Structure 1
């Protein structure tokens, strides 16, 4: 919301109630737009003011509302009208001032609009570490890792946009018994030549074969356990093979990340912290937290009564570490190295219990910062398949999205001739995947449908990109109008006012997204903005209008395009210029 408008309304409330205007600012909210009827621009809840001690609790609510409305009417050139709703006071803002201040804010600092709002100032700032994607090395990037990758990227982008220092960490699954299985199998079944030709495909084939063998062959399982024991004891030959698998995997993954527009500051992994796992076990033992079961495994009692009704295993009977032990070590190492203010893990919801146990163990170890560790869980995607059948690998999904978009663009009469059609199609296809994924609650499972995902009309990523490209085309044709020299009296049509009212909500949407770490609020805001922009584009002609009218409309479209692009970038979408 334009700071001037929020401040002006708060100032009038402050003068009447005798309370500092800062008190009212977080309680003022923009009203969602409705195409059926024009609503007010802002509202404030009387009950929230009573709860915060601004208004007395012992007086009749309706009487207080009526009194405030009488005092507010005619009190300011900013406030055009006030009215009461159910427990709220509604404000209509002077429409000339609304256009002038709001668009002026965007024109003056396009990148700062919304993210520098006063209502965001109380959000915790500092250093945020986000762990996401985290595929298992020596395996091709599975489509199941798409959600962790794009959700983590969104959270990192959002935190960075709001002024946090963000550390992006890819915590690779590069240790554990599965590498005992793969390492032992590769020495018997693997080929260095095939590894050079198609590294991850060959490792995948070896792993599939040995996994089948291990189901009914005890000797295979014993060989795997022995290879992992050698790894944990730093056997040179075992480590060389493991390092080769790791380096190959990271190089292959980077190609996929580049296509997705995703990057990382650190490629970490379980192996980085496995040496510290013993230190974790020693500390747990010193603190009296490590218990040894009859089977010889080490566990930590997590029960409130101390009766082992809830516990976490942290070491095998043969002394080798477990996933959670290495995660504890990783958290301790990261706090020491990065001194983060908060750490966010992005994984599927099947790991909820794991993270509850991880944070519990850290608290038992007197690491109070464990309360600032957050797990963001997400659900499963069902029915994702390509024309060749069930999808296993992410590169297949990206290829499918690109190829289907190329087909759709070639069929469309409005498509432009593009010098880089494949790249544009891929960027639009990835946008479609992201928007489809982000429209609902992250923890919910959803059914994937290619036809619905790639529709040009409706609430899709394709529609977002089409609207942005259409606005950019209009601005190129008439010259960008990202300047404050416009007459707001030429922006009083319904279509203009609806866009302005909607833009008022941008900072509140960012706040809600940040508090809940959910992208759906931003996605829905941008999709509504696209629908409003589409209506305005049809109704508010630039070509053939007088110079002043054209200039004002171009400014409106330019500001709309800026906010749309900013929001898309936070989601992890690269806005295309033409399509």
Structure 2
């Protein structure tokens, strides 16, 4: 039970006629300084009901509050300040973490229901750039967070393996490419062709027409177009796998846009059956005026389908196959209009589960303040960034710990972890500028700093040869350990909040705060001092190690034992 619940329950006995337990919980505040206790309750909201001055209400209430769970309860103006019993809380927290280990913080909110997560989704024949990092690592972290909240996540890599861009690429390959060049360096050559097509198309309008014609051939099952498409797709997947191997991320499904080719007609039939399809200038649309949205374009005048047609087919397929409790789409903020349309069309079809679909938007990564663009060739390759990060991490490890046994492995864990952590510590809706040198630092609010704190805990426990004892009375009541205990105790609520808000940064911020609090504790307390509290201090180190490792795991990072 966390500190706020203890306070709310104590207050509810005296306030049951006026406020529910939930209302009390919502009113509780964290005092600005520890001198004002651990939790504060403002009584302003009761002044009108009780027709008394807030200070008088606070004084009356304190007399009715049972104080076994608190060191003291005091009134300061219109606030009741609660000082929790450090010994009791630390004992309960350390015991629970020791018993549950890595399951600490796990809950059964999801009741094992399935949650497909549409994530990563790179486009075939284009390299994975830094622009793909966010969807990939946010989606992966959300999968772990949802699992911790009792759901069963399904990671879906909805590949961009269909669309007019393939027609354009085929035109470019036929005009300027060669089989030899593509085989030698598949993605680089296909990107070169794609960029050249767009450069030339600015002065030659016929290229766009040819591109559309080749895509139509692909849609119609033309043999040459299909063979080229399959070749481009196979080569691209091999390249993507290098990046996923570096990130140590795997998927449950690679069903991309092409998978839904034979699943769109039933959607169109359903829209017609419900009289929702309207012909407009030769195209088929669904009117969404009542949702204050632009019409959803379902089929173009030449019969070609669009993203929304496929996403409707994908939503129906996922509901049928996974019977999902929620379906998450980790896609950039600029696509929010598309997902509003998707949900609106599903609502028009009468599917109440449309409300269980959630777009998880995120901001941009910029380089020197500028957006990264594939079309103009201004891209930063993700694989290169990750490899460079590993190199920077290795250089720092060489300087700090040249005798480390498994330097290569640790450099990988630290370098790649640094890039992931830097992304996830930012609120996902925020844009951020990327600088590799800032990211791979062992000091400050970085992944390596949190990982290093974990190794510090591991080192102390090795030195002490410490093992937790079942039933031991671990308990601390010093002010230095209290800040650490409070953050440990807050972990389950942090996990729940991160799941409710689909926000990995909540976990990352907890990891930073816990690492900072522990390092402050380490600087002020002689942990290995032989006295009566030694085993309790080591139990605290053990608990910090477990929770930091879980924080990191939920973000998709590994926790080295040494670095």
- TM-score, length-scaled by structure 1: 0.87
Instruction: Output one character per residue of 1:155-209: Cα deviation in whole Å (capped at 9) or x when no partner.
Output: 1110001110111111010000001111233344443333333222222222222
Distance 1:321 1:24 in 2: 49
Distance 1:325 1:77 in 2: 62
| Paired position in structure 2 for 1:90 | 81
Q: What runs of 5+ residues in structure 1 fail to find an aligned partner?
A: none
**Superposed displacement of residue 538, structure 1:** 2.4
User: SS of 1:167's equivalent?
Assistant: strand
**Superposed displacement of residue 132, structure 1:** 0.7
User: SS of 2:428's equivalent?
Assistant: coil
Are positions 1:162 and 2:134 aligned together?
Answer: no
**Superposed displacement of residue 38, structure 1:** 4.4
**Are 1:29 and 1:505, in contact at CA under 8 Å, matched by a contact in 2?**
no
| Paired position in structure 1 for 2:91 | 100
Change (3 A) 1:305 1:439: closer
Distance 2:545 2:140 in 1: 22
User: SS of 2:162's equivalent?
Assistant: coil
Distance 1:184 1:218 in 2: 13
**Are 1:431 and 1:461, in contact at CA under 8 Å, matched by a contact in 2?**
yes
**Are 1:486 and 1:552, in contact at CA under 8 Å, matched by a contact in 2?**
no
Instruction: Output one character per residue of 1:90-120: Cα deviation in whole Å (capped at 9) or x when no partner.
Output: 322222211211100100102222233xxxx
**Are 1:32 and 1:505, in contact at CA under 8 Å, matched by a contact in 2?**
no
**Superposed displacement of residue 401, structure 1:** 1.2
| Paired position in structure 2 for 1:70 | 63
Choose 215-224 or 426-435, whichever is displaced more. 215-224
After the TM superposition, which residues 85-484 of structure 1 pair with which residues of structure 2 at under 5 Å, given as runs? Answer: 89-116=80-107, 126-294=113-281, 296-304=282-290, 310-383=294-367, 391-411=379-399, 414-484=400-470
User: SS of 1:172's equivalent?
Assistant: coil
**Superposed displacement of residue 517, structure 1:** 1.3
**Are 1:27 and 1:45, in contact at CA under 8 Å, matched by a contact in 2?**
no
Which of 19, 25, 49 is the aligned partner of 1:27? 25
Which of 511, 534, 542 is the aligned partner of 1:550? 534
Distance 1:431 1:447 in 2: 18
User: SS of 1:166's equivalent?
Assistant: strand
| Paired position in structure 1 for 2:373 | none
RMSD between aligned residues: 3.1
**Are 2:140 and 2:556, in contact at CA under 8 Å, matched by a contact in 1?**
yes
Instruction: Output one character per residue of 1:211-237: Cα deviation in whole Å (capped at 9) or x when no partner.
Output: 333333344333322221122122233
Choose 100-109 or 261-270, whichever is displaced more. 261-270
**Are 2:86 and 2:482, in contact at CA under 8 Å, matched by a contact in 1?**
yes
**Superposed displacement of residue 123, structure 1:** 6.9
How many pairs are equivalent?
555
User: SS of 1:424's equivalent?
Assistant: helix
**Are 2:510 and 2:551, in contact at CA under 8 Å, matched by a contact in 1?**
no
Change (3 A) 1:415 1:86: farther
Change (3 A) 1:45 1:482: farther
**Are 2:31 and 2:39, in contact at CA under 8 Å, matched by a contact in 1?**
no
**Are 1:174 and 1:246, in contact at CA under 8 Å, matched by a contact in 2?**
yes
Distance 1:141 1:189 in 2: 23
Instruction: Output one character per residue of 1:421-474: Cα deviation in whole Å (capped at 9) or x when no partner.
Output: 233223212222223223332112122233332232221112111111111111
Distance 1:135 1:265 in 2: 16
| Paired position in structure 2 for 1:526 | 511
**Superposed displacement of residue 58, structure 1:** 5.2
Are positions 1:501 and 2:486 aligned together?
Answer: yes
- TM-score, length-scaled by structure 2: 0.90
Q: What runs of 5+ residues in structure 2 fail to find an aligned partner?
A: 370-376
| Paired position in structure 1 for 2:552 | 568
Distance 2:172 2:417 in 1: 40
User: SS of 2:102's equivalent?
Assistant: coil
**Are 2:95 and 2:474, in contact at CA under 8 Å, matched by a contact in 1?**
no
**Are 1:33 and 1:498, in contact at CA under 8 Å, matched by a contact in 2?**
no
**Superposed displacement of residue 398, structure 1:** 0.5
**Are 1:28 and 1:43, in contact at CA under 8 Å, matched by a contact in 2?**
no
**Are 1:180 and 1:225, in contact at CA under 8 Å, matched by a contact in 2?**
yes
User: SS of 1:173's equivalent?
Assistant: coil
Distance 1:6 1:105 in 2: 17
**Are 2:130 and 2:365, in contact at CA under 8 Å, matched by a contact in 1?**
no
**Superposed displacement of residue 13, structure 1:** 4.2
Distance 1:162 1:148 in 2: 21
Instruction: Output one character per residue of 1:56-96: Cα deviation in whole Å (capped at 9) or x when no partner.
Output: 94554734433221111xx3432222234676543222222
User: SS of 2:180's equivalent?
Assistant: helix
Distance 2:364 2:393 in 1: 24
**Are 1:471 and 1:561, in contact at CA under 8 Å, matched by a contact in 2?**
yes
**Are 2:148 and 2:495, in contact at CA under 8 Å, matched by a contact in 1?**
no
| Paired position in structure 2 for 1:514 | 499
Distance 2:502 2:280 in 1: 39
**Superposed displacement of residue 486, structure 1:** 4.8
**Superposed displacement of residue 410, structure 1:** 3.1
Distance 1:93 1:333 in 2: 51
Distance 1:404 1:362 in 2: 48
**Superposed displacement of residue 330, structure 1:** 1.1
Distance 1:424 1:244 in 2: 36
**Are 2:116 and 2:324, in contact at CA under 8 Å, matched by a contact in 1?**
yes
**Are 2:135 and 2:331, in contact at CA under 8 Å, matched by a contact in 1?**
yes
**Are 1:486 and 1:555, in contact at CA under 8 Å, matched by a contact in 2?**
no
**Superposed displacement of residue 251, structure 1:** 2.6
**Superposed displacement of residue 285, structure 1:** 2.5
**Are 1:30 and 1:41, in contact at CA under 8 Å, matched by a contact in 2?**
no
Change (3 A) 1:78 1:349: same
Change (3 A) 1:61 1:331: farther
Distance 1:187 1:43 in 2: 71
